[in-house]
RNA sequence: GCGAGAGUGGCGGAAUGGUAGACGCGUCGGACUUAGGAUCCGGUGCCUGCGGGCGUAGGGGUUCGAGUCCCCUCUCUCGCACCA
């Protein structure tokens, strides 16, 4: 038999699989149970890289596993193909963004094809296809009609490098998520999705995901939404008609308020500073605040700054006059942009009070030293003091009582606040989904009628150079339009949508990619959703996953989908790194996927990634051995070649007595059981280890039988083991498994592919063991080992253990206090 | 600063509270070879007087028994970063 050439196997089997059309999902009348396995679709940045290979290998194992189990598996692929890199490449090279994008898609698609992923290619689409973004626009308009899409003027995150605004979720540590440039603020009118309306549901429905999503992702989302409960309290301002409401989580500390702060960059601050002789000082301060970068502002140990506005607020509980300051440690866009300051019990307020020499009054006695002296605010529980009728209450009771009393008097009420902000979705770039709104001087914002969708991107006449205004503004013929309402001259909205809008519903489109009566066929969505297993990088822990959850809930409310959570289970695979750090051009530590594939073959690379460790851990390519993986795969093929085509199929799990070495059969069936468990637990590294053990066991069996009788045909148990090995391997290393299958006498080209062979079933009788090694301890230390029947009695085991020479030697004449017996595996003799 | 998670051989990593180190890499020895960076077989946590002793970041605790559970300390990683 020829040695194993993985590249020849790839060339041999890929066309066979394609002609068998193995991975098509949802054929009419297919009654098998359905299962949706999804990988986060790629952005077409160039060719596939090591990270893609890992992520998609993991997803492919899961998809193939359920296919072998007899499920009708939907495992689709497409491209998240709108986005900035296409535009930047276009500006640099003078090619159209579409050309760059679709060329890269073709490259990646071909790489995926050769990588042998079990995709249903018939469902492929790209978010930049007009047939797709037509429905993105349609969904935007449904959101708009429901009041969930709106425009407002507000200070927004601005990336000076990409020349566009960014959503809060796209600012990481004060920098642009995409290009790492420092983000600044700008006052602009932009489109938003009202995701804050769904904050509570996004929080509550996480209960459904508990246990099947990584804990840390749920925690990150919880923190991002940042729900906090407390009260809104109205403070009258001297000389102002309307009171100013503040939000506080500590209404119990109301008597400890000694000053009042409004966000310097809020309209309220400007208003309160007017007149009164404090105007100039405030204006100077505001200038200074505006010049402070977000990065500087974020340093929480920065000294507190602010200016007195010459005004006073009235504490509603005791009528005290509180001086009003403008400061930048209060944020304009959280709560009401104004706070009551309680320096004794809030560190930030205390820092400010010490800087401005304001009084500090303890109202909750926590037993800790005076904050005015120590400079450390006390935030724990305690008994109320200096709080009038509330003195003596503990924190929780005081919060309840004071909130109730405020509510009764009309001066406040219980309230909830969120850290989450509405999703800023408009972008001042070209290569994205146009916003289907027309601005009419007479009618205002007018939705483009459904039957005029899609609003297509103009292919010519656009100046792509980023200048801070939407490039589409330069497409004059495109922008000029007539109002769908009154027919008069009007202008198209020239912003495009955040690409995260495109990816917030693509998993629904896969269910019916060619549907023309809506974004998706509700019947198809009902069949497939939710996604049973979603795989992708943890970088989307908040962004894509939060947005998709939001979209699903809105669509649920519209009656279009029947689930409120799109992804039942989530796996965040780790990154592939090199020599301890992320691969990058500048570090010169990039590993080229195509070069690795050319050297070791597809399956060796897949096995290397799967065997390196649990899928959520990073893989340091310097620590792993593709050569070792290739060696094992070659051993598997050699083994099946040695077993050969003779003897006819001996399918595991089929009825009837099986001949052959019982020890080999036990190993085979225990491997089936172990690999099944490990694959379902996504412990592919352990599954591979078990298959390596089976390989070695079968090898030993073959060599032993040859030594005994050179002419003897392969033991049927060895044949059974080899077939099982190929079938189990089919989900991990599809080419090698097919090659092994063929060498065992099957003819994939005639339809007898290992990928149709099904998952073997372990025979419980063979998985069960009849004898086990019992560990005998003296004082908790292992002193002897006994081979005992699995059903040995406790009494019998105790007698045997005590009779052990090693036990007696270690007892050294001491009396036995107790004997702990955990039959059949352990006895612990405890000396007095 | 706050929150979360993790520390196991030379390395990647296995271990329902019950044999620590499965499997692999590396390494050492052997076989086969003109040769081998191919292939195959075997050893490989550390120490040892060969009885055994010590070992899962460090220290304490619970338990007959702890890598696993609890407390403290150290280190690393990730998330948030003035959110009232």
Nucleotide with smallest C1' distance to residue A173 CA:
B81
Within 7 Å of a protein beta carbon, the nucleotides of strand B are: 1, 3-5, 11-15, 18-20, 22-26, 38-41, 51-54, 64-66, 78-84
Over 60: is that where the pLDDT of A653 sits? no
Question: What is the distance in angstroms measured between the alpha-carbon CA of A678 and the sugar C1' of B68?
Answer: 20
Over 90: is that where the pLDDT of A355 sits? yes
d(CA A307, CA A324): 9
Give the pLDDT of residue A603: 97
- Output the CA torsion sign for A493, A498, A503, A508: negative
Angle ∠(A493,A498,A499) on CA atoms, nearest 5: 125
Nucleotide with smallest C1' distance to residue A821 CA:
B64
Over 80: is that where the pLDDT of A181 sits? yes
Contact A371, A377 (CB under 8 A): yes
Give the pLDDT of residue A787: 86
- 3-class SS at A138? helix
Question: What is the distance in angstroms measured between the alpha-carbon CA of A611 and the sugar C1' of B10?
Answer: 20
d(CA A629, CA A587): 27
Closest CA to A695 of A624, A757, A617, A631: A631
Residue A190 CA to its chain's centroid (Å): 27
Residue A659 has which token pair? Answer: 């001949």
Contact A473, A495 (CB under 8 A): no
- Residue whose token pair is 């995709």: A119
d(CA A676, CA A678): 6
Closest CA to A792 of A807, A773, A767, A820: A773
pLDDT in tens, A486-532: 999 999 999 999 999 999 999 999 999 999 999 999 999 999 999 99
Give the predicted TM-score (pTM) of the model.
0.94
Give the pLDDT of residue A400: 95
Over 50: is that where the pLDDT of A711 sits? no
Which residue approaches B22 most closely, CA to C1'?
A689
Nucleotide with smallest C1' distance to residue A826 CA:
B18
User: Please, which pLDDT band fits residue A292 given cuts at 50, 70 and 90?
Assistant: confident
- Cβ neighbors of A563 (< 8 A, separation 6 or more) are A529, A530, A552, A556
Nucleotide with smallest C1' distance to residue A688 CA:
B23
- 3-class SS at A412? strand
Question: What is the distance in angstroms measured between the alpha-carbon CA of A571 and the sugar C1' of B2?
Answer: 27
Q: A343-373 burial, b for 16+ CB within 10 Å, e for fewer? A: bbbbebbbbbbeebebebbbbbebeeeebbe
User: Please, which pLDDT band fits residue A648 given cuts at 50, 70 and 90?
Assistant: very low
Question: What is the distance in angstroms measured between the alpha-carbon CA of A573 and the sugar C1' of B76?
Answer: 20
pLDDT in tens, A241-275: 999 999 999 999 999 999 999 999 899 999 999 87
Question: What is the distance in angstroms measured between the alpha-carbon CA of A546 and the sugar C1' of B36?
Answer: 57
ipTM of the shown complex: 0.95
Nucleotide with smallest C1' distance to residue A627 CA:
B25
Over 90: is that where the pLDDT of A813 sits? no
Question: What is the distance in angstroms measured between the alpha-carbon CA of A220 and the sugar C1' of B76?
Answer: 20
Question: What is the distance in angstroms measured between the alpha-carbon CA of A454 and the sugar C1' of B34?
Answer: 74
Over 60: is that where the pLDDT of A438 sits? yes
Give the pLDDT of residue A772: 86
Question: What is the distance in angstroms measured between the alpha-carbon CA of A430 and the sugar C1' of B49?
Answer: 81
Question: What is the distance in angstroms measured between the alpha-carbon CA of A621 and the sugar C1' of B34?
Answer: 37
Nucleotide with smallest C1' distance to residue A346 CA:
B84
Give the pLDDT of residue A650: 45
Over 80: is that where the pLDDT of A712 sits? no
Over 70: is that where the pLDDT of A295 sits? no
Contact A335, A418 (CB under 8 A): no
Nucleotide with smallest C1' distance to residue A683 CA:
B14
User: Please, which pLDDT band fits residue A177 given cuts at 50, 70 and 90?
Assistant: confident
| Stretch among A25-29, A67-71, A167-171, A721-725 having the lowest mean pLDDT | A167-171
- Residue whose token pair is 């085979």: A668
Give the pLDDT of residue A809: 84
Closest CA to A632 of A553, A695, A710, A583: A695
């Amino acid at each position: 038999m020829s040695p194993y050439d993985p590249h020849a196997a790839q060339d041999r089997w890929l066309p066979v699989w394609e002609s068998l059309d193995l991975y098509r999902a949802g054929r009419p009348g297919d009654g098998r149970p359905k299962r949706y396995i999804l990988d986060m679709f790629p952005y077409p940045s160039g060719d596939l890289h090591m990270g893609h290979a890992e992520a998609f290998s993991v997803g492919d194992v899961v998809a193939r596993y359920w296919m072998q189990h007899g499920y009708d598996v939907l495992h689709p692929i497409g491209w998240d193909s709108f986005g900035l890199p296409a535009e930047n490449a276009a500006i640099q090279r003078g090619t159209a963004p579409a050309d760059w994008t679709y060329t890269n898609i073709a490259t990646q698609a071909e790489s995926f094809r050769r990588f042998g992923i079990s995709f249903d290619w018939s469902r492929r689409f790209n978010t930049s296809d007009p047939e797709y973004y037509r429905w993105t626009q349609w969904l935007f308009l449904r959101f708009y009609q429901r009041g969930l899409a709106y425009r407002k003027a507000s200070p927004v995150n601005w990336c000076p490098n990409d020349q566009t605004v960014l959503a809060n979720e796209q600012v990481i540590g004060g920098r642009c998520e995409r290009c790492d440039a420092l983000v600044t603020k700008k006052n602009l009118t932009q489109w938003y999705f009202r995701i804050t309306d769904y904050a509570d549901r996004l929080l509550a429905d996480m209960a459904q995901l508990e246990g099947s999503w990584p804990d840390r992702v749920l925690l990150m989302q919880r923190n991002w939404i940042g729900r906090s409960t407390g009260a809104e309290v109205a403070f009258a301002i001297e000389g102002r008609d309307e009171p100013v409401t503040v939000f506080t989580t500590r209404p119990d500390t109301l008597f400890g308020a000694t000053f009042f702060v409004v966000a310097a960059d809020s309209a309220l601050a400007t208003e309160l500073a007017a007149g009164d002789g404090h105007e100039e000082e405030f204006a100077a301060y505001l200038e200074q605040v505006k010049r402070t970068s977000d990065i500087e502002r974020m340093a929480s140990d920065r000294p507190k700054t602010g200016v007195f506005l010459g005004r006073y607020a009235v504490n509603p509980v005791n009528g005290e006059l509180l001086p009003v300051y403008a400061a930048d440690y209060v944020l304009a866009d959280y709560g009401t942009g104004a706070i009551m300051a309680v320096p004794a019990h809030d560190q930030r307020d205390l820092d400010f009070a010490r800087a401005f020499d304001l009084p500090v009054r303890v109202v909750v006695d926590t037993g800790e030293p005076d904050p005015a002296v120590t400079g450390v605010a006390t935030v724990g529980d305690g008994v109320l003091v200096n709080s009038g009728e509330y003195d003596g209450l503990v924190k929780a009771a005081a919060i309840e009582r004071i909130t109730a009393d405020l509510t009764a008097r009309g001066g406040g009420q219980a309230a909830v606040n969120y850290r989450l902000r509405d999703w800023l979705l408009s972008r001042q770039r070209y290569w994205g989904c146009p916003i289907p709104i027309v601005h009419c001087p007479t009618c205002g914002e007018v939705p483009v009628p459904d039957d005029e969708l899609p609003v297509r991107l103009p292919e010519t006449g656009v100046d792509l150079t980023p200048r801070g205004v939407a490039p589409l503004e330069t497409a004059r013929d495109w922008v000029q339009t007539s109002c769908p309402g009154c027919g008069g001259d009007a202008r198209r909205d020239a912003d495009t949508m955040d690409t995260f809008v495109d990816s917030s519903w693509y998993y629904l489109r896969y269910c019916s990619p060619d549907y023309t009566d809506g974004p998706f066929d509700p019947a198809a969505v009902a069949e497939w959703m939710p996604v049973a297993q979603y795989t992708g990088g943890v970088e989307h822990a908040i962004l894509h996953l939060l947005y998709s959850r939001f979209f699903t809930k809105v669509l649920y409310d519209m009656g279009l989908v029947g689930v409120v959570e799109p992804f039942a289970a989530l796996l965040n695979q780790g990154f592939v790194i090199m020599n301890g750090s992320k691969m990058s051009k500048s570090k010169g530590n990039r590993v080229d996927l195509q070069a690795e594939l050319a050297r070791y073959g597809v399956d060796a690379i897949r096995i290397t990634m799967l065997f390196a460790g649990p899928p959520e851990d990073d893989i340091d390519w310097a620590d792993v051995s593709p050569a070792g993986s290739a060696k094992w795969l070659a051993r598997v093929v050699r083994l099946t070649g040695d077993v050969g085509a003779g003897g006819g199929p001996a399918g595991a799990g089929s009825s009837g007595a099986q001949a052959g070495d019982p020890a080999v059969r036990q190993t085979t069936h225990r491997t089936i059981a172990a690999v099944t468990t490990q694959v379902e637990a996504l412990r592919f590294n352990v599954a591979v280890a078990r298959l390596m053990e089976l390989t070695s066991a079968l090898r030993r069996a073959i060599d032993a039988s040859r030594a005994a009788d050179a002419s003897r045909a392969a033991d049927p148990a060895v044949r059974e083991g080899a077939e099982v090995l190929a079938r189990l391997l089919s989900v991990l290393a599809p080419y090698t498994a097919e090659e092994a299958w063929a060498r065992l006498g099957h003819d994939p080209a005639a339809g007898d592919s290992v990928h149709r062979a099904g998952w073997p079933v372990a025979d419980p009788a063979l998985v069960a063991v009849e004898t086990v090694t019992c560990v005998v301890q003296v004082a908790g230390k292992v002193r002897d080992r006994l081979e005992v029947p699995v059903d040995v009695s406790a009494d019998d085991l105790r007698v045997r253990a005590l009779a052990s020479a090693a036990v007696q030697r270690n007892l050294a004449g001491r009396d036995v206090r107790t004997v702990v017996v955990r039959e059949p595996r352990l006895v612990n003799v405890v000396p007095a």
